[in-house]
């Protein structure tokens, strides 16, 4: 049994500087001061073990005569670092002083060290204020934070400006009924389902813009891949030739994000048993028509509707993983019926405007759509014709359409759902665990 010095209840008159658990190896044989939470504890009578968790990881602390508080209490530990092959990280701390900073008043409703995403998911979400502290839970959120930072950083290098657009709006960006309505001082208003209209307007200001913000969809989904509030990573760029410029930008952006994750988040991927994908220099493209034909001919899956269904997305991704060795594929040339009113029509072989096909695309990653994008209509007359064709009220969109009277350039963009991309990167089966406090059709708390 490990022998340890008797603990002291005295706080040093001049406390040691704080050491994080990840840095213990650099202090082998020396005294350190740790601050963190009681992740787990064991009392073996004469010896007590405390697993302390801080922002950088966990470490085992061992002492005698300790009065152990409940799990999740915040504590201070002063002690000597000693190599130990069975301790997390290969080092433990022999406790010399132990102080409870803030004690839990009751035992946590879930044993955090024993949590798994596939066990009692609703319970884990009901008590999210505590369960979000779990090592895997916070690892997912940490990866997402790095993903968003990489998104921002790369776009800045390509001359983009970050913008902030309204989240209370008078009309939807895409039409349809999937809007959360609210009373705005006696007037009808809605939570924004997308910053699409505003980021297009801002192309006329900065030419290249992006936004990181929540968006809202009043869709009564109850699936593992949908949220009613999610973090949207939006991009719009002007003076493009066509949607290929937009896909090229996204290709470079994803490569930069994955490189950042390799540099900064390898520990989190290792903890979660996940791999960071390679982004090909040229992500393959396939038209929607050809994609539907491929999954029918190769896998016998007949696709209904006007898009790819979830099974078709999975099978198409499987094909590209097996045939081309990539987790990514662009599905292009979406029909007008499957795209919003502002999607730019494609050109026919004779150069005339197509009435059926647009320059819209989706990006699939590991079997699921993570991006919708394409070229937008920039010509005012064409836009008004499209609004009429979609049977939308032009008066309700006047605040948006008026900017196209004033020389808007050819432009396009895309939006990435941060939680969905995070979940697929890390192998998380339910997108709700890729958001700290998810909102779905049944959940308004915590």
User: 84, 99, 133, 225: which is the annotated catalytic residue?
Assistant: 225
Rounded CA-CA distance 400/397 in Å is: 5
User: 76, 158, 207, 219: which is the annotated catalytic residue?
Assistant: 219
**Is 262 among the catalytic positions?**
no
User: 53, 128, 154, 226: which is the annotated catalytic residue?
Assistant: 226
Rounded CA-CA distance 256/234 in Å is: 16
Q: Coil, strand, or helix at residue 53?
A: strand
Q: How far is CA 387 from the centre of its chain?
A: 32
Rounded CA-CA distance 261/157 in Å is: 17
User: What's the burial of 214, exposed, middle or buried (CB within 10 Å: 0-12/13-18/19+)?
Assistant: middle
Q: How many CB atoms lie within 10 A of CB 446?
A: 12
**Is 420 among the catalytic positions?**
yes
Strands 31-43, 74-83: parallel, antiparallel or unpaired by DSSP? antiparallel
User: 208, 359, 366, 420: which is the annotated catalytic residue?
Assistant: 420
User: 369, 376, 411, 435: which is the annotated catalytic residue?
Assistant: 369
**Is 226 among the catalytic positions?**
yes
Q: How many CB atoms lie within 10 A of CB 441?
A: 13
Task: List all residues 6 or more positions away from 239 whose beta carbon is below 8 Å from its beta carbon.
Answer: 207, 409, 410, 411
Rounded CA-CA distance 295/419 in Å is: 27
User: 39, 217, 339, 411: which is the annotated catalytic residue?
Assistant: 217
Backbone angles phi, psi at 54, to 5 degrees: -125, -170
User: 372, 378, 386, 432: which is the annotated catalytic residue?
Assistant: 372
Rounded CA-CA distance 147/258 in Å is: 8
Kindly list the catalytic residues: 217, 219, 225-226, 369, 372, 420
């Amino acid at each position: 049994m490990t022998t340890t010095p008797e603990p002291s209840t005295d706080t040093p008159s001049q406390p040691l500087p704080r050491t994080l658990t990840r840095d213990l190896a650099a202090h082998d044989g020396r005294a350190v001061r740790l601050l963190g939470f009681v992740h787990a504890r064991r009392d073996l009578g004469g010896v007590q073990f405390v697993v302390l968790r801080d922002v950088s990881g966990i470490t085992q602390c061992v002492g005698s005569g300790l009065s152990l508080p409940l799990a999740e209490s915040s504590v201070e530990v002063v002690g000597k670092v000693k190599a130990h092959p069975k301790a997390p990280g290969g080092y433990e701390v022999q406790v010399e002083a132990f102080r409870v900073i803030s004690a839990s008043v009751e035992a946590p409703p879930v044993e955090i060290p024993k949590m798994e995403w596939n066990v009692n998911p609703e319970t884990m979400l009901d008590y999210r204020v505590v369960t979000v502290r779990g090592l895997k839970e916070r690892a997912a959120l940490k990866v997402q934070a790095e993903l968003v930072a990489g998104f921002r950083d790369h776009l800045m290098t390509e001359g983009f400006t970050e913008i902030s657009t309204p989240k209370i709006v008078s009309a939807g960006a895409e039409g349809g009924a999937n809007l959360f309505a609210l009373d705005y001082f006696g007037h009808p208003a809605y939570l924004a389902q997308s910053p699409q209209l505003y980021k297009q307007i801002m192309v006329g200001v900065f030419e290249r813009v992006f936004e990181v913000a929540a968006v809202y969809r009043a869709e009564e989904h109850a699936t593992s891949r949908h949220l009613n509030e999610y973090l949207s990573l939006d991009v719009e760029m002007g003076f493009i030739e066509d949607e290929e410029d937009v896909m090229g930008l996204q290709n470079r952006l994803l490569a930069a994000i994955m490189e950042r994750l390799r540099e900064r988040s390898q520990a989190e991927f290792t903890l979660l048993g996940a791999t960071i994908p390679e982004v090909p220099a040229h992500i393959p493209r396939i038209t929607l028509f050809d994609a539907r034909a491929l999954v029918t001919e190769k896998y016998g899956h007949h696709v209904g509707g006007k898009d790819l269904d979830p099974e078709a997305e999975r099978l198409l991704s499987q094909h590209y993983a097996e045939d081309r060795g990539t987790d990514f594929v662009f599905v292009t040339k979406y029909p007008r019926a499957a795209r919003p009113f502002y999607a730019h029509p494609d050109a026919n072989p004779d150069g005339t405007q197509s009435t059926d096909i647009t320059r819209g695309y989706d990006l699939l990653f590991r079997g699921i759509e993570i991006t919708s994008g394409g070229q937008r209509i920039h010509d005012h007359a064409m836009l008004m014709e499209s609004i009429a064709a979609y049977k939308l009220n032009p008066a309700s969109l006047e605040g948006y359409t008026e900017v196209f009277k004033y020389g808007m350039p050819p432009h396009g963009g895309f939006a990435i759902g941060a939680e969905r991309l995070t979940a697929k990167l890390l192998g998380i089966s339910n997108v709700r665990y890729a958001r700290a406090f998810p909102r779905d059709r049944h959940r308004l708390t915590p």
